[in-house]
Chains A and B, each alone.
Chain A
Amino acid sequence: MDRGQNTGGLMSSAGLIRYFDSEDSNAILINPKTVIATGVMLGVVVQLLTFVS
């Protein structure tokens, strides 16, 4: 309990969005690489379509 509290407090002071340690087992977990890959894909696809149009 001690540790959980500390990390919650420290993390939150960094950004506008709070992320806690606890995660639900139901949650869909995304690999950070997937986020970057999706971003690059989105950019490239939109740019390519712009060239095509």
Chain B
Amino acid sequence: MGWKEAAEPVLTRMPAVKRPEGHVPFKRKLAWTAGILVLYFFLTNIEILGAAGGQDLFGEFRAILAGSQGSLLQVGIGPIVTASIVMQLLGGANLLGLDTDDPRDQVLYQGLQKLLVVVMTALTALPMVFAGGFLPAQDQLVLGGLEFVGSQVQVLMFLQIFAGGVLLLYMDEVVSKWGVGSGIGLFIVAGVSQRLVSGLISPTPQGFFYSWYQILFTDEVAVGSVLTGDGLFVLLSQDGGQLLALFTTVLIFGIVVYAESVRVEIPLSHARVKGARGRFPVKLIYASVLPMILVRALQANVQFIGQIMFTLGPDREAGPIILFGQELPWLGVYDQSQPVSGLFYYVSPIYSPDDWMWWTGEITAEVWMVLIRVAFDLTFMIVGGAVFAIFWVETTDMGPEATAKQIQNSGMQIPGFRQNVGVIEKVMERYIPQVTVIGGALVGLLAVMANMLGTIGSVTGTGLLLAVSITYKLYEEIAEEQMMEMHPMMRQMFGKE
């Protein structure tokens, strides 16, 4: 009990966005959401003062971590996700001793969560600015009469990134309390959609339509006969017709929307009111795709550590990690800030077909090294997906115990069983854990497969999965909102004032 009393004065005073008093009309909610979205895009376009180019520390993870390199939203939702992982692990293992039904503990939980995000924002921004070439500072900066040099410019940059990161946290809170859905979901969807659209229409060889224009009307992409293997490969590949990427993108869309409707329905009837029936759906993707972002963020953090270790050594383009004057090639060898062998190579996820299709000859690594990497990525994502899905279900009160309590409190029971929390929990235990594990593993598998086949605009499998399922959730929420607008009586049924 010790830490709670000690931390209480700080945690209860964390600034929070005011809650709306009473009902917020749907149109107003949409306006808040749109406002935050516009602000988000605005801030991603403002360049950090004092920065001079640089290489994205997030690299391929940018698609799911939102924000944009070199802008005020440099850290994106990275710190929020990392803080969330810590909270999930602490909460899942019940190390905090916080009872989320107790109002006082709820306040502490909220405060701790916010404090962690702020700390993580600082921890993410620090190496970005001060370690190596992720975000090199200008040599000097003159603002009016003031002149900043060297590390002063870096401090200035750090402050901007930090402010942007904290602002993102409060923007999420505004959407969660005043708008539709959650801010984080909104930012992910915004980022992924932007990439998807530019992947389709951008007038560069990466753009889908442009590459087809090149194939059909110019001779810049030589296809040869479609009947030969080579011709077909060009049409399918990422550098040619991108047909494989288009196919994967559409397939993932289809699978997610279909999987959202796959569910086990547990029949319910009201204990008092005869004829009042309902169903409790246990969806295949019960824990939603959000736990996936946690697994990916874990991988991302491992990669950051590798990158930072590499930049700690002498300044060079390629070579092994050097720590304390010792070369550590088993840990990682880097080439143009990408790991090419060593531990950090094996644990880096597969981003695109170019990372593993060894027969194309574009890969310098040995075949067995590629296979180890693929095997590791698959295992990590499938096992990680399942494990984080379980944690997610437990910490968000979607587990058997919590749902049984909810059903009992609403006065429902499962027909043919005694009306008792324990009994409902037993029935729930037959479905929820199994469905959670299967769903989590399936989502992990899908994410890796999508990355291996490539996606339009390189949004990555996880990004696409997240965007589609968040949009689907948003659609459901909007439908529910509209129904409540039209039938105010419904509001009472859904338990909102």
Cβ B109 vs Cβ A47 within 8 A: no
Given A46-B72, A49-B143, A26 and B13 contact (CB-CB distance below 8 Å): yes
How far apart are A47's CB and chain B's nearest CB, in angstroms?
Answer: 5
Which of B16-24, B376-384, B412-420 participates in binding chain A? B16-24
Encode contact with B along A9-53: 1 for CB under 8 Å, 0 otherwise.
Answer: 101111111111111101111111001101110110011011011
What are the residues of chain A within 8 A of B143 when measuring CB–CB?
49, 52-53
Given A39-B39, A42-B167, A23 and B17 contact (CB-CB distance below 8 Å): no
Contacting A32 at CB < 8 Å: which of B12, B174, B397, B495? B174
- B155-186 interface with A by 8 A CB criterion: 160, 163-164, 167, 169-174, 176-178, 181-185
Contacting A50 at CB < 8 Å: which of B47, B106, B398? B47
How far apart are B355's CB and chain A's nearest CB, in angstroms?
Answer: 28
User: How many interface residues does B have (CB within 8 Å)?
Assistant: 71
Interface contacts (Cβ under 8 Å), in number, total 167
How far apart are A7's CB and chain B's nearest CB, in angstroms?
Answer: 7
Nearest B residue to A24 via CB reads B12
What are the residues of chain A within 8 A of B39 when measuring CB–CB?
36, 39-40, 43
By secondary structure, the B interface counts as helix
- B285-321 interface with A by 8 A CB criterion: 288, 290, 293
Encode contact with A along B380-412: 1 for CB under 8 Å, 0 otherwise.
Answer: 000000000000000111100010011001000
Cβ B72 vs Cβ A43 within 8 A: yes
Cβ B43 vs Cβ A42 within 8 A: yes
What are the residues of chain A within 8 A of B113 when measuring CB–CB?
17-18
Q: Does B330 contact A (CB under 8 A)?
A: no
What are the residues of chain B within 8 A of A19 when measuring CB–CB?
110, 173, 176-177
Cβ B49 vs Cβ A50 within 8 A: yes
What are the residues of chain B within 8 A of A7 when measuring CB–CB?
495-496
Using a CB–CB cutoff of 8 Å, the interface residues on chain A facing chain B are 1-9, 11-24, 26-32, 35-36, 38-40, 42-43, 46-47, 49-50, 52-53
Q: List 23 A-B contacts (CB under 8 A).
A: A7-B496, A8-B106, A9-B397, A12-B396, A15-B176, A19-B173, A21-B106, A22-B106, A24-B12, A27-B14, A27-B15, A27-B16, A28-B14, A31-B17, A32-B32, A35-B170, A36-B35, A36-B36, A36-B39, A39-B43, A40-B39, A47-B46, A50-B47
For the complex with contacts A27-B107, A32-B174, A46-B160, 20 further pairs of A-B residues with Cβ separation under 8 Å are A5-B101, A5-B405, A9-B402, A9-B406, A13-B288, A13-B398, A15-B182, A20-B110, A21-B19, A27-B12, A27-B13, A28-B15, A28-B16, A31-B18, A32-B178, A35-B171, A36-B39, A53-B49, A53-B50, A53-B142
